[in-house]
């Protein structure tokens, strides 16, 4: 029944509104995590090395730049830059994810083949471990989904799906990716900058 179908402009406007409502909803999820952090940690934080968080924060920021570049490119019919920027974004996203996994969570493979977790802080180390792993884990889950979306639109773009007039898929993925970056803008200082550092084993 085609009478229900609206013009693409109207549908895109609805999609955009729906996407932002989804962000509002997600903000309550991440806000709940932030509240948990302040409720449980108060004005303290675990003493952790500062280099890795700073590096992965920069990575995510850079990936956000490339995502914006990709969206600008497709809006201006520059396909080559679009495809390249998308791949770079996905790569930086994966680097961010692995940075959290390997350096921050400290997953290492021992010579005997077993995994070892937590060279800085252990997930079961009281509330410090719980909140750190809970917040980075929830964020990392979103990063993984964002990378998946980017790879999907990269593949569709490779097939010539998007154009300057019709690229809602790209826009949705882009604002989702920026949203992930936005969450990290709040999570990073909450986890690593605010409060008095409590050394391990005090």
* Window 95 to 124, contacts with another protein (CB under 8 A): 105, 107, 114-115, 117-118, 121-124
- List C-alpha distances in Å: 117 to 102, 108, 114, 133, 184: 9, 7, 10, 11, 23
- List C-alpha distances in Å: 39 to 33, 127, 172: 10, 10, 34
- Using CB under 8 A, pick the residue from 51, 110, 111, 159 that binds another protein: 159
Q: How far is the CB of 184 from another protein (least distance, A)?
A: 10
Q: How far is the CB of 166 from another protein (least distance, A)?
A: 8
Measuring CA to CA, which residue among 140, 147, 119 is closest to residue 33?
A: 140
Given the complex with another protein, which of 75 and 91 has the nearer CB atom?
Answer: 75
| Contact (CB, 8 A) for 141 and 101 | no
- List C-alpha distances in Å: 10 to 20, 72, 157: 16, 22, 23
* Window 26 to 45, contacts with another protein (CB under 8 A): 26, 28-29, 32-33, 35-36, 39-40
- Using CB under 8 A, pick the residue from 52, 79, 91, 98 that binds another protein: 79
Is 49 near another protein (CB under 8 A)? no
- Using CB under 8 A, pick the residue from 48, 52, 72, 98 that binds another protein: 72
How many other CB atoms are there within 10 angstroms of residue 101's CB atom? Answer: 15
Is 142 near another protein (CB under 8 A)? no
- Using CB under 8 A, pick the residue from 55, 58, 108, 197 that binds another protein: 58
In sign, the C-alpha dihedral spanning 72, 76, 81, 83 is: positive
């Amino acid at each position: 029944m085609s009478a229900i179908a609206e013009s693409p402009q109207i549908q895109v406007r609805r999609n955009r509104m729906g996407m932002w409502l989804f962000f509002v909803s997600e903000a309550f999820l991440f806000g709940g995590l932030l509240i948990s952090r302040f409720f449980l940690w108060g004005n303290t934080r675990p003493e952790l090395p500062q280099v890795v968080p700073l590096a992965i924060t920069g990575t995510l920021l850079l990936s956000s730049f490339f995502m914006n570049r990709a969206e600008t490119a497709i809006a201006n019919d520059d396909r080559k830059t679009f495809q390249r920027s998308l791949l770079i974004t996905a790569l930086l996203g994966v680097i961010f994810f692995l940075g959290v996994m390997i350096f921050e969570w400290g997953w290492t493979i021992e010579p005997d083949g077993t995994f070892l977790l937590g060279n800085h802080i252990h997930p079961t180390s009281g509330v410090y471990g719980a909140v750190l792993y809970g917040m980075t884990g929830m964020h990392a889950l979103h990063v993984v989904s964002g990378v998946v979306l980017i790879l999907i639109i990269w593949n569709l773009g490779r097939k010539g799906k998007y154009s300057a007039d019709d690229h809602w898929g790209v826009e949705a993925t882009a604002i989702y990716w920026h949203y992930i970056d936005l969450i990290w803008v709040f999570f990073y200082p909450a986890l690593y900058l605010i409060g008095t550092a409590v050394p391990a084993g005090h």
